[in-house]
């Protein structure tokens, strides 16, 4: 199913990205035609025409997004001229994420009580608020963006390509066998509205591993490449993890999933160290066992959760190397619990491992911070000492000269 969705995506995505999408069905005994039209985030209009050869008593429209297993069933009114119209309002009937495939079909009930189902149809619910551009580097990555920055795609594709080798320094992943589509918005607000993430203002990127989609929010400023080097490898790592673990992906500890993705970042977050040190000083660090299944909901705590996951995975790599992280990935892939995976991989409990991490990392952080705080004063002290020494030497030199005279 996943390969089928990806194949459809690669074939149709660009042709659908910049226009309203009509979807024409095959004719059926009770259905002559069927179309879909929409404006992203507002309404989706379904229209169909019934055949006059059979008397339809009742008609239903069934709609399902590939992001949900739930089928929505709507009873429709039949107009005197056998036309069907249904307006799907996301605010009433449920939001649909951008770039989802939407399946739909009709069920007719005839006067004699028999029923018939139309062929399954689908369309790509692209974000047609924007006119998208498309660029492909190789069989691995395709970028979609809509800004006037023509070099954007080349930078994104170069970073995406490098990110694979960068992550493989820490943990082993197989070569990409299926293309990844990268969809880049120009700000977090547009991304969050496309993904229906109202209130989650901290979200700047997102990966849909099942559909091999990466969503970014890269603003056109001087930090473009730096931000791209952080967001893009992070989201690609999630897709690599999914492809490596399959059905076990959803049960991976969140700290492991996000920690591996943070390791992949080519420009690590510069705020993490201060977050960790502040939390350590104020006894606000989150137990790693509490980051197994879910991250906190508020923005300050979720930032700390990401910082801890990043630091914890870097510590594990430093202590156990790439082979150790591979063992841990394999343990979780084979179904080990969050707590027992570290026992399988490192012969140590998660609780004791966390204790060792805290002792190691926060002593290092404090030493680095203290050094950075003291260093300016050492420079000043050195400058003053040299100046005083120079004045003394100059005074002695003048004194000796005056004695000779």
The structure's pTM equals 0.79
* More confident call, 251 vs 371: 251
- pLDDT tens, residue by residue, 25-74: 333 468 899 999 999 999 999 999 998 777 899 999 999 998 888 899 99
* More confident call, 139 vs 105: 105
* More confident call, 381 vs 247: 247
Cα distance between residue 206 and residue 232, in whole Å: 9
Q: What is the pLDDT of residue 65?
A: 92
* CATH code 3.40.30.160 region(s) in the chain: 130-246
Q: What is the pLDDT of residue 18?
A: 43
Options 3.40.50.300, 2.60.40.10, 1.10.760.10, 2.30.110.10; CATH of 19-125:
2.60.40.10
- pLDDT tens, residue by residue, 258-298: 999 999 999 889 899 999 999 999 999 999 999 999 999 88
pLDDT higher than threshold 60 for residue 345: yes
- pLDDT tens, residue by residue, 147-156: 888 889 999 9
- pLDDT tens, residue by residue, 63-102: 999 888 889 999 999 999 999 999 999 999 999 999 999 9
pLDDT higher than threshold 60 for residue 393: no
pLDDT higher than threshold 80 for residue 16: no
pLDDT higher than threshold 80 for residue 334: yes
Region 109-128: what's the mean pLDDT? 93
CATH topology of domain 130-246: Glutaredoxin (3.40.30)
* CATH code 2.60.40.10 region(s) in the chain: 19-125
Mapped to the 3 state alphabet, what secondary structure does the chain carry?
CHHHHHHHHHHHHHHHHCCCCCCCCCCCCCEEEEEEEEECCCEEEEEEEECCCCCEEEEEEEEEECCCCCCEEEEECCCCCCEEEEEECHHHHCCCCCCEEEEEEEEEEECCCCEEECCCEEEEECCCCCCCEEEECCCCEEEEECCCCCCHHHHHHHHHHHHHHHHCCCCCCCCCCCCEEEEEECCHHHHHHHCCCCCCCCCCEEEEHHHCEEEEECCCCCCHHHHHHHHHHHHHHHHHHHHHHHHHHHHCCHHHHHHHHHHHCCCCCCCHHHHHHHHHHCCCCCCHHHHCCCCCCCHHHHHHHHHHHHHHHHHHHHHHHHHHHHHHHHHHHCCCCHHHHHHHHHCCCHHHHHHHHHHHHHHHHHHHHHHHHHHHHHHHHHHHHHHHHHHHHHHHHHHHHHHHC
């Amino acid at each position: 199913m996943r390969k089928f969705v990806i194949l459809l995506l690669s074939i149709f995505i660009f042709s659908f990205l910049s226009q309203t999408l009509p979807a024409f069905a095959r004719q059926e005994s009770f259905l002559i035609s069927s179309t879909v039209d929409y404006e992203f985030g507002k309404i989706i209009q379904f229209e169909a025409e019934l055949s006059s050869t059979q008397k339809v008593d009742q008609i239903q429209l069934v709609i399902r997004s590939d992001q949900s297993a739930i089928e929505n069933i709507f009873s429709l009114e039949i107009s005197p001229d056998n036309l069907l119209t249904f307006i799907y309002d996301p605010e009433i009937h449920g939001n649909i994420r951008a770039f989802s495939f939407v399946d739909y079909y009709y069920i007719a009930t005839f006067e004699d009580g028999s029923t018939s189902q139309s062929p399954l149809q689908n369309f790509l619910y692209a974000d047609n608020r924007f006119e998208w551009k498309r660029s492909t580097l190789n069989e691995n990555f395709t970028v979609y963006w809509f800004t006037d920055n023509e070099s954007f795609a080349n930078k994104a594709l170069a970073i995406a390509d490098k990110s694979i080798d960068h992550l493989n320094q820490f943990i082993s992943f197989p070569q990409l066998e299926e293309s990844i589509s990268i969809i880049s918005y120009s700000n977090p607000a547009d991304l969050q509205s496309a993904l229906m993430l109202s209130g989650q203002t901290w979200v700047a990127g997102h990966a849909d591993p099942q559909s091999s989609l990466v969503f970014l929010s890269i603003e056109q400023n001087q930090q473009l490449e730096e931000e791209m080097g952080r967001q893009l490898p992070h989201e690609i790592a999630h897709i690599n993890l999914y492809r490596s673990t399959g059905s076990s992906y959803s049960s991976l500890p969140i700290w492991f999933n996000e920690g591996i993705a943070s390791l992949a970042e080519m420009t690590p977050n510069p705020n993490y160290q201060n977050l960790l040190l502040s939390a350590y000083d104020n006894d606000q660090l989150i137990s790693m066992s509490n980051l197994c299944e879910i991250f906190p909901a508020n923005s300050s705590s979720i930032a700390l959760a990401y910082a801890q996951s990043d630091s914890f995975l870097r510590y594990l790599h430093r202590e156990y190397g790439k082979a150790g992280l591979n063992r841990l990935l394999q343990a979780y892939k084979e179904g080990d619990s969050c707590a027992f995976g570290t026992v399988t991989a490192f012969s140590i409990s998660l609780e004791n491992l966390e204790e060792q991490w805290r002792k190691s990392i926060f002593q290092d952080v404090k030493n680095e911070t203290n050094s950075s705080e003291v260093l300016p004063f050492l420079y000043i002290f050195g400058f003053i000492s040299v100046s005083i020494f120079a004045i003394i030497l100059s005074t002695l030199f003048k004194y000796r000269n005056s004695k000779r005279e």
